[in-house]
Amino acid sequence: MSKDRQQKVYTLVVEIGRKAGDGLPEGASGAALVVYASGVDEAEAVRETVAILKQADTAPLDVTGYGTLEEREAEGHEIDAEERALMMRALEENAVIVAQVTPFDD
């Protein structure tokens, strides 16, 4: 496997709208999800995340990428041990991990 095809973990924030069965609190208009997703590049991580969220009966509207652990550190982001552990789990399991859900109130 060439180095450029190596899996990395990307931090994404996904905005979701309402959909029947989405599990969001009554009265919420949607939510923001902090997600750690593995992929060979950010585009693949976004595609995988959107596909999995659709399978989970959510309605992804918008995805903002914040880069890899290394990119975020270079930008001065403080990343705690819990966040690092979730990132490692996403990498080891080739997974999409939703780390935080913040519902939007109208």
pLDDT tens column, 29-62: 999 999 999 999 999 999 999 999 999 999 999 9
- What is this structure's pTM? 0.91
- Of 18, 1, 10, nearest in space to 72 by CA: 10
Q: Report the distance separating Cα 53 and Cα 49, nearest Å.
A: 6
pLDDT tens figures, 53-100: 999 999 999 999 999 999 999 999 999 999 999 999 999 999 999 999
- Of 50, 28, 25, 27, nearest in space to 37 by CA: 50
Q: Report the distance separating Cα 14 and Cα 53, nearest Å.
A: 9
**96: helix, coil or strand?**
strand
Tell how strand 96-105 and strand 28-39 pair up. antiparallel
Strands (E), 1-106: 8-17, 28-39, 59-68, 96-105
Residue 75: C-alpha distances to residues 3, 19, 28 (Å):
23, 35, 32
